[in-house]
Amino acid sequence: MSITPQFLEQLKDRLPLSDIIGKRVKLTRAGREYKACCPFHKEKTPSFYINNDKGFYHCFGCGAHGDVVGFTMAHDNMSFIEAVEVLVAQAGMQMPQQSHEDIERAEKQKSLYAVLEAVTKFYEAQLNDPRNKEVLAYIRERGLRDETISNFRLGYSPQNGEELRQYLLKEKFTDADMIEAGVFKQSQHGGAPYAFFRDRLMFPVADKRGRVVAFGGRVLPENIRPPSMSGDKPPKYINSAETPLFHKGHMVYAESHARAASAQGQPIVVVEGYLDVIACNQAGIKGAVAPLGTALTEDQIQTLWRAIQAPEKNVVLCFDGDNAGRRAAERAVERALPILKASHTISFVFLPEGEDPDTFVQRQGVGALQALIAKPLTLLDMIWSMAVTGKNFATPESRAGLAEHLDNVISVIPDQNLRYHFRKMLQEKQFANFRNKTKNSASNSNIETVRIGKIGGDTNLQKQELALLGTLYHRPDIWEGLSDIWFNINMSQDETQAFFEHICTFATEYLAEMARGDAAEGTETLDIPAIKRHLDNGNFGALIEKFGSPNFYLLAPFAKASVDAGTALAKWREMYSHYEKSLLGEDIAGARRQWAATLDDAEAERLLELQRMRKSHLHEEG
C-alpha cells in the first residue's frame, strides 16, 4: 500500500496533534504550544511539548520526537500502516489504494512549489527595482509599512512577462512547469507561453504552512500604468486558476498568519479582500483572512475551524453594513448551518455603511474595530435578525409563520442535540418578544394541572419511529407525497434522525432526477431494489435489519408492497401525526418538571405554550 506525502498532509490537517495526544495525556497550554508529563518516561515536571502549527511533539527529557503518526505508533505499539489506518478512521477518511500515479503526483507537487517560490522571489525583486519605484511609492501611500510589505511578500509583475519566463528558464524550470503552476498560459497561436499576470501588484497566496500556491493580482492606478491598447478597463483583481496545489474553495488568504494569531489567543476574522487582511494585520488584528474571489464556502469555514486551537471555535465574519453586506452575511448563515456542530460556530460584525476595515481604522482607530470584533452578533441572533427585521408580527398567523420559518431554517443543522438547543432558544426569543406587555406575567395558578398520561414512553416512541422509517425504506413510492413536510420531520434519537436524513438526502436528489427525466435507465419507474441498495450503504445495518423482521409488518402493515401507495401514504401521515403528539406529551412532562424545579416565569410561559399546542392538536382532531 502506498501512503503518499500528500495523503499524510491531508490526514495531519484533519487531526490536530494536541487533540490526539490530549485523549491520552493531560495537556496544559504553554503559549503557542501545549505541555505535559512525557508518556514515554516517568517524570514529575512536564518536559513534553506539542506544537500544532509545526505538527510535532518533542520531549526535552528523553528526546522522544515525532508527528501524529509517530506518536500513535509509539504510544499504542502499532506499525506505520496500523497507525495510519486508526487515524484515517478518526478523521473520517478512506485509506488510499496503491497507486504509482499518486507517487508521481507528489513529486510533481514538489516541483510546482519550487516554481511558485521562484516566481514570488522574482515579483519581490521587481517591486524593489528602481525601475518600478512608482509602484512601491503607491503601496506606501496606501499606508503599508515596509515591514508589512515584506511580511506578506508583496511584489510586482512587470508588463513584459518575458522577463519572468527568461528568469525561470535560467532557474531550470520548463514552460510546462510554468503553465501547470498557473503563472503562464499557452499561446493559441503556436508561440511561446505568455505571463498571466502583467503590470499588477502581486499578493502571494500561501497554504497553511506558508508555502506559496497561487497569486492574486491587483490593477494599478491609471497614473502609473500604461493605457490599455484596446481601451478596455482591466478587472480590478485577477486570481490564479486552480492547479494541483490551489483549490480556491478550500483555502483562504493569510491562513498561516491566522493560525499563528489563533495560537496566541486572537480571533480569526474573515474580511473581504487582500488589502483588508493586510490593513487589519498591520493594525494588530493578526487573525484576519479573506476568501479568494468567491463567497465564503463550507470548506473554508471548516478550514478556519481547524485553524483555531481554542476549544470554542468561533470564526468572526466582518461585513459592510449595507444591503450587499447583509446579503453576504445571510449566504454565510446558509453555508454554515448544514455543517454546524457543538463548539463550532460563526458570528458577525457589521461596519458602518460604505466602510471597509482599512477606512474604518483610519477614521475610528484600531480600538474601535477591536471593540466590534470582541462583541460580535451570534449566529442565533443573526438568524433571528434575518427573520424579523423590517417585518410586523401583530397577528397570530404572522407569528405562526415566523415559528415555522425559523424551524425550517435550523432544520438543516445535522446534530440533533444542537438543533434542539437552537430551537429552544429561538422559541424563548419568540416568547420574550411577543409576550403581552399590558398584562402581568402568567401566574402559577394559570398553569394547567391536569395530569398528562404517559403515551407509551420511550418504547412506544421507538416503535413508532421504527414503523415510520421502515415504511420509508420499503415504500419509496410515497416519498413524493411527503414533499410538503419532508424537511420538518424530526426523530427523537440520534440514530433514527441520522437514518431519516440519510433517506431524505437521497430522496431529494432521486426525485429531482426523476423530475428532470434522467433517472436510472431513463424511465420514470422507481427502481426500488436499486434504491434499497443505495440506502444500505451506510452505517445503519442494525436498524435496517429490523425492517426485515417478520414482526416489523405488525407495527406497519401499510408498509407491505401489496398496499396501494395512496393508502400507505395516508396511513404513514396518520402515524406521524400520532408520533408528533407523543413527542409533545414528553416535552410537556419535561417542561412541567423544569418549572416545578425553578418556578421561573420563562419556564411557566414555555409550559403554557406547549399546552396550547396540545390543545390545538386536540381541537384539530375533534
Contacts of 340 (CB under 8 A, 6+ apart): 379, 413, 414, 415, 418
**The pLDDT of residue 620 is above 60:** no
Question: Side-chain half-sphere of 59: how many Cα atoms within 13 Å?
Answer: 17
Average pLDDT of 461-469?
87
Joined together, the cell numbers standing for residue 299 give 470548506
Under 8 Å between Cβ of 85 and 95 = yes
Confidence at 515, pLDDT banded by 50, 70, 90? low
Grouping H, G, I as helix, E, B as strand and the rest as coil, residue 29 is: strand
Q: Lowest mean pLDDT: which of 147-161, 563-577, 583-597? A: 583-597
pLDDT above 90 covers a percentage of the chain that reads: 41
**The pLDDT of residue 553 is above 60:** yes
What is the model's pLDDT at position 438?
29
Average pLDDT of 342-347?
93
Under 8 Å between Cβ of 478 and 565 = yes
**The pLDDT of residue 189 is above 60:** yes
**The pLDDT of residue 301 is above 60:** yes
Q: pLDDT tens across 521-546, in order?
A: 444 567 788 888 888 877 788 888 88
Under 8 Å between Cβ of 3 and 96 = yes
pLDDT above 70 covers a percentage of the chain that reads: 84
Q: pLDDT tens across 418-435, in order?
A: 999 999 999 888 877 775
CA angle (393 as vertex; 388, 395 as ends), nearest 5: 160
What is the model's pLDDT at position 219?
94
What is the model's pLDDT at position 165?
95
Grouping H, G, I as helix, E, B as strand and the rest as coil, residue 220 is: coil
Q: Lowest mean pLDDT: which of 5-9, 67-71, 140-144? A: 5-9
pLDDT averaged over the chain?
83
Neighbours of 194 (CB within 10 A): 14
Most confident of 248-252, 491-495, 610-614: 248-252
Check residues 571 and 191 and name the one with the higher pLDDT: 571
Most confident of 69-73, 388-392, 437-441: 69-73
What is the model's pLDDT at position 459?
54
Neighbours of 48 (CB within 10 A): 23
d(CA 82, CA 86): 6
Under 8 Å between Cβ of 453 and 538 = no
What is the model's pLDDT at position 359?
85
Q: Strands 377-378 and 313-320, how do they pair?
A: unpaired
Under 8 Å between Cβ of 590 and 610 = no
What is the model's pLDDT at position 506?
80
What is the model's pLDDT at position 188?
83
Average pLDDT of 388-393?
86
Confidence at 452, pLDDT banded by 50, 70, 90? very low
Most confident of 116-120, 444-448, 471-475: 116-120
CA dihedral 365, 367, 370, 375 (to 10 degrees): -120
DSSP-derived secondary structure letter, 253: B
Could you tell me the domains of the chain? Answer: 5-91 (3.90.580.10), 100-239 (3.90.980.10), 255-388 (3.40.1360.10), 457-589 (no CATH)
d(CA 430, CA 387): 11
Confidence at 604, pLDDT banded by 50, 70, 90? low
DSSP-derived secondary structure letter, 444: G
With left for phi above 0 and alpha for psi between -120 and 50, is residue 143 left, alpha or beta?
A: left
The dihedral of CA 143, 145, 150, 151: what is its sign?
Answer: negative
What is the model's pLDDT at position 605?
63
What is the model's pLDDT at position 404?
93
d(CA 165, CA 179): 11
Q: pLDDT tens across 245-286, in order?
A: 999 999 999 999 998 898 788 999 999 999 999 999 998 999
Question: Side-chain half-sphere of 610: how many Cα atoms within 13 Å?
Answer: 25
**The pLDDT of residue 593 is above 70:** no
What is the model's pLDDT at position 108?
79
**The pLDDT of residue 447 is above 70:** no
CA dihedral 519, 522, 523, 529 (to 10 degrees): -60
Q: Lowest mean pLDDT: which of 98-102, 349-353, 491-495? A: 98-102
Per-residue HEC secondary structure of 453-496 comes to CCCCHHHHHHHHHHHHHHHHHHCHHHCHHHCCCHHHCCCCCHHH
- 90 sits in which H/E element: helix 80-91
Q: pLDDT tens across 219-233, in order?
A: 999 888 766 655 668
What is the model's pLDDT at position 77?
65
**65 DSSP β-pair partners:** 58
Q: pLDDT tens across 24-75, in order?
A: 889 998 888 899 999 888 888 899 999 988 889 999 988 889 999 999 988 8
